[in-house]
A and B are shown apart, each in its own frame.
Chain A
């Protein structure tokens, strides 16, 4: 079956622009996570959804970052007024449920802010 799909694969934005990154989780997966991964570093947690409810957004670095999952499936991570420090790979992961289910990751969106 299809895995986690993220789009676009690459995004170049000029500083100050808004961007929207999309994640299509595996069908039926309840939990959805967003991570930010800088070059040479491990993924860093941003936010977590259980169905449409955003249960944890403590990892979002600033109020310029906003995530939603309105119907409990597709999720969008929006970054307003992008800054150069936002350049990173943004990874989305989904899992069947929260109880120790393995995370299934997409291949990420590489955001470059110029």
Chain B
């Protein structure tokens, strides 16, 4: 089971680009990398998922280097509403336990 390491917290200002890096040194061949966002009093919400290289959707980009031992979630031009906890998950499709959340990164966007 691949363990992930993320910064506990980050601060940013409105309009800046924010990059949150997750380390997963023992990622397995079949593992995908998935990021979730969680606001207070809500369940986590899927942001983006990738296997290698770069993935982009309407809210974020995910950069994965060739060795796949880390990944970086990039949020362009953050706003106050992006203040949340961001979780990086690594796992494959075999077992429920593979969907393991760490403590996440608490992002605070300041005006």
CA–CA, A33 and B27, complex, Å: 22
Indicate whether A102 sits within 8 Å of B49 (C-beta atoms), given known contacts A107-B42, A107-B43: yes
CA–CA, A58 and B42, complex, Å: 25
Indicate whether A56 sits within 8 Å of B101 (C-beta atoms), given known contacts A91-B43, A93-B43: no
Interface residues on B, range: 20 to 34
CA–CA, A44 and B103, complex, Å: 10
CA–CA, A15 and B101, complex, Å: 28
Enumerate B38-90 residues with CB–CB distance to A below 8 Å: 41-46, 49, 85, 87
- Please, which residue of chain A has its CB at the minimum distance from the CB of B39? A107
CA–CA, A45 and B87, complex, Å: 14
A contact residues around B93 at 8 Å (CB)? 98-100
Q: Convert A16-56 into 0s and 1s, putting 1 for each residue whose CB lies closer than 8 angstroms to a CB of B.
A: 00000000000000010101000001111101100000011
Nearest chain B CB to A6 CB, angstrom units: 8
B contact residues around A102 at 8 Å (CB)? 34, 46, 49
Nearest chain B CB to A16 CB, angstrom units: 27
Residue B15 interfacial (CB < 8 Å): no
Most B C-beta atoms less than 10 A away, residue of A42, A93, A103: A42
Nearest chain A CB to B10 CB, angstrom units: 16
Q: Please list the residues of chain A having a beta carbon within 8 angstroms of any beta carbon in chain B.
A: 4, 31, 33, 35, 41-45, 47-48, 55-56, 58-59, 91, 93, 98-100, 102-108
